[in-house]
Amino acid sequence: MPDLALAAPYFGWDVVRDLQELLHYPFMQHAFEAGTIVALSAGVIGYFVVLRGLSFAAHALSHIGFAGATGAVLLGGAPIVGLLAFTMSAGAVMGALGRRLRGRDVTIGLVMAWSLGLGLLFTYLYHGSAQRAIGILFGQIFGITSQDVAVTFVAGCATVLLVVAVYRPLLFTTLDEEVAEAKGVPVRGLSIAFMVILAVAVSEAVQVVGVLLIFALIVAPAAIAERFTTRPSRGVLLSAILAVLFTWAGLTAAYYIPYPVGFFIIAFAFGAYLLARLASYGIGKRPSGR
Partner 1 sequence: MTPRQAGSPVIVAERLAAAYGSRLIWQDASFTVDPGEFVAVLGPNGSGKSTLLRLLLGLLAPAAGSLQVLGKRPHQGNADIGYVPQRRSIDRDLPVRGRDFVHLGIDGSRWGVAMGNAATNDQRVDEAIAAVEAAAYADRPIGRLSGGEQQRLLLAQALAGRPRMLLLDEPLASLDLRNQIVIAELVAELARANHLTVLLIAHDINPLLPIVDRVLYVAHGGVAIGKPAEVITTEQLSRLYDAPIEVLHDSHGHMFVVGLEAESAHHDA
Q: Which residues bind partner 1 (CB under 8 A)?
A: 51, 164-169, 171-172, 175-176, 178-185, 226-227, 229-233, 235, 286-289
Closest CB to partner 1 among 1 and 164? Answer: 164
Q: For 23, how many CA atoms within 13 A lie in the half-sphere containing its CB? A: 10
Instruction: Report how far residue 124's alpha carbon sits from residue 70's, in angstroms, rounded to the nearest whole number.
Output: 10
Helix (H), strand (E) counts: the chain:
14, 0
CB count within 10 Å of CB 66 equals 30
Q: Cα–Cα distances in Å, from 166 out to 43, 156, 194, 242?
A: 16, 16, 9, 22
Closest CB to partner 1 among 87 and 191? Answer: 191
- CA R_g for the chain: 19
Shortest spacing between CB 279 and partner 1, in angstroms: 15
Shortest spacing between CB 161 and partner 1, in angstroms: 10
Closest CB to partner 1 among 147 and 288? Answer: 288
**Is the Cβ–Cβ distance between 35 and 41 less than 8 Å?**
no
Shortest spacing between CB 109 and partner 1, in angstroms: 22
Shortest spacing between CB 183 and partner 1, in angstroms: 4
Closest CB to partner 1 among 28 and 240? Answer: 240
Closest CB to partner 1 among 78 and 175? Answer: 175
Shortest spacing between CB 105 and partner 1, in angstroms: 17
CB count within 10 Å of CB 13 equals 6
